[in-house]
Amino acid sequence: MIIFVSAAFGAADIDFITAVKAVIEYTGLADYNLSATVKTIILQIRLPRILLAAITGAGLATAGAVFQAVFQNPLAEPYLLGISSGASLGATIAIIIGAGMFIGNIGTVTVFAFIGAMVTILLVILISGRSRGNFTNLLLGGIAIGYIFQAIISFLMILNQDKMERIVFWMMGSFSYADWDKVRISAGVVIICIIIININALKLNILSLGTSEAHSLGINPEAAGMFFLLISCLLTAAVVSTSGIIGFVGLIVPHLLRLFTGSDHRKLLPAAAAGGACLMMLADIAARSVMAPREIPVGVITAFIGGPFFLIMLRRKRREVSG
Amino acid sequence: MKITIKNAEFRYRQGFHLKPVSIDIESGTFMVLTGPNGSGKSTLFSLINGLIKPAAGSVAVDGREVTSIPPQERARMMGMVPQISKITFDYTVEEMISMGRYPYQGLFSGESKSDKQAVDEVINRLELIPYRKRSIQSLSGGEYQRVLLARVLVQQTDVLLLDEPGNHLDLKHQTMLLNLLKEEVHKGKTVIAVLHDLNQALFYADHGILLDEGECVCSGAPADFLTRSTIKKVFGVSMKEYRSGDGYVIFGLDGSGGEMSRFEY
């Protein structure tokens, strides 16, 4: 539903029904004789963008829920281990050496951002080492590496001021460069990771009780924690490298959904993925239409809608508990 | 299920050293670990549970090194009631108790009929039916302690480890808990509990260990080593000894030092 509503929004004037028709026509179920322009706009520009938004939202929300459980901290979010800085550094380098290039069908910016994100995670894990089921070291390592990378990015930006706007815009997160190749790649990684995480949801419940309880209930907390972190980092890297850094979704969506589903990750994880996808699609509609034809970075929208909404939910919940 | 601890020792980086301990724990034993705060009870507990690996010596269950047993299999052999700590996420009582069935579940099998049945039985047994859908964070300390006990019973292990299980319970529920544990011991299970109440230790335990500054100072039947002089030496508290008609020794306030003989501290 949101997909179709969203498809109707945009610079060109195409109504909701037409958008539905275009998709139906694409699937070959019927023929409405739509103009080629309309079809191109819907199928080649808007649809990939909408799907990329949905995938990104689902991925970030799932990764956020996992991070919160593993760190046993409701303030944890997918960028905690410096992934965002790593991806930004990768993207910055790619933009500076020439953004127009492609490796296969994928732009160098995406590839470099992905490599940057994964290298960061490996660095953080290598440097912080494994400390008996306690991931605090990892967290500190991630923060430190994040700062170092940020410094490098700032330095590179000063040296290449002509590319600064592009870099900053990338970092704010946007779906405006979406195309089917990006959708395919990120959807592949994201869906597989989400399925693996959901299959292991009960394990995540137990892990969220803490090291010693998880141990006595039959889990190796170190191994399980590392497993979940690596998968959700891969998930986050896939998402960040295609869409830039979109904040708040990974933090807030799991919280929001927890108010409805409770903490059981078997219910929370699927709900968070769906909720994240919907929220991101809505945010993208807003990003495209609030100041049309100019676009607002979608990360700005997520923070703007997400923040106050979250505060309201929090207040309502507190009232329920107290009275 | 026999637990064999042979010269097991452990040293934390911060300096605490649990000196070599050796004990054999036969199945059907109610064993109590006691001693002052910081004497090494929790460390010994973690060694038995396989949470930490002994620096030297060994801890074995039925001849197998405990840390080498795969986690799920180990969790079908021994379960633990931890000390109450703050839980970040708010599960319901039923969700929490069901987690005790994890050791029996495969990746794709989910909860089976027997899992559900085990959970129902224990919820009935511990009179937790009205709490079923309640959130963990809304429970009192005592209620939460009962939920943790329920979870370990659902785990259906031969060995039950309990870290100060009576802490948050009122007198009635403490007695209920200890009677329940005694029942389990009669069924052939092994109970290993950290207890601070020496009278409870005397009344319920078949075997006891007294730790002081990382050293096992006494081991055997609690009635044999829990004497006024030992208590004075280890805890630094003067106690009076009362003897009940049927021969039980009860320790109480001496009154001279003004120190408490209630044992939580």
The reply to whether residue A262 touches residue B102, judged by beta carbons under 8 angstroms, is no
Interface test with B, best of A211, A216, A264, A314 (most B CBs within 10 A): A216
Q: Which residues of chain A have pLDDT under 70?
A: 1-16, 28, 99-106, 129-134, 313, 317-323
Verify cis geometry, omega within 30 degrees of 0, for the bond prior to B36: no
The reply to whether residue B91 touches residue A264, judged by beta carbons under 8 angstroms, is yes
Distances (CA, A) of A276 to A10, A244, B104: 22, 16, 33
- The residue type at A298: V
pLDDT in tens, B165-216: 888 888 888 999 999 999 999 999 999 999 888 888 888 899 999 999 888 8
- How far is it, in rounded angstroms, from Cα A26 to Cα B258? 88
Q: Supply A312's token pair.
A: 């309201």
What pLDDT does B265 receive? 37
- How far is it, in rounded angstroms, from Cα B76 to Cα B156? 7
| B74 interaction partners in chain A (CB closer than 8 Å) | 218
Closest CA to A229 of A148, A141, A119, A125: A125
- How far is it, in rounded angstroms, from Cα B103 to Cα A60? 30
What pLDDT does B258 receive? 46
Tokens 């001021």 map to which residue? A161
Closest CA to A166 of A103, A113, A92, A105: A92
- Asked, for residue A104, whether it belongs to a domain, the answer is yes
Is A209 near chain B, with CB under 8 Å? yes
The reply to whether residue B74 touches residue A73, judged by beta carbons under 8 angstroms, is no
Give me the CATH code for the B3-253 domain, please. 3.40.50.300
What pLDDT does A256 receive? 86
Q: Nearest residue of B to residue A207 by CA position?
A: B99
CATH of the domain at A72: 1.10.3470.10
What pLDDT does A7 receive? 60
Total count of domains within chain A = 1
Helix (H, G, I), strand (E, B), or coil: what is residue B3? strand
| B51 interaction partners in chain A (CB closer than 8 Å) | 211-212, 215-216
First-to-final CA distance of chain B? 33
Interface test with A, best of B102, B154, B156 (most A CBs within 10 A): B102
Boundaries of domain holding A158: 48-322
Q: Exposed, middle or buried: residue B140 (CB in 10 Å: 0-12, 13-18, 19+)? A: exposed
CB atoms within 10 A of CB B26: 13
pLDDT in tens, B96-151: 999 999 999 987 777 889 999 999 999 999 989 999 999 998 998 889 999 999 99
DSSP state of B34: E
Q: For chain A, what's the residue count?
A: 323
Q: What is the DSSP string of A96-113?
A: HHHTT-EETTEEHHHHHH
Q: Supply A76's token pair.
A: 């944890």
Is A104 near chain B, with CB under 8 Å? no
Provide ipTM, 2 decimals. 0.88
Q: Supply A255's token pair.
A: 């919280």
Angle at B240 between CA B237 and CA B243, to 5 degrees: 140
- Asked, for residue A251, whether it belongs to a domain, the answer is yes
What pLDDT does A31 receive? 75
Q: Supply B198's token pair.
A: 């020496």
Is B156 near chain A, with CB under 8 Å? no
- Asked, for residue A168, whether it belongs to a domain, the answer is yes
pLDDT in tens, B32-86: 999 998 888 889 999 999 999 999 999 999 999 999 999 999 999 999 998 888 7
- Asked, for residue A36, whether it belongs to a domain, the answer is no
- The residue type at B109: S
Buried b (16+ CB within 10 A) or exposed e, A136-152: ebbbebbeebbeebeee
pLDDT in tens, B85-99: 878 888 999 999 999
pLDDT in tens, B242-259: 777 676 777 877 765 544
User: Region B221-249: what's the mean pLDDT?
Assistant: 80
Which residues between 106 and 165 in chain A have a beta carbon less than 8 angstroms from any beta carbon of chain B?
none
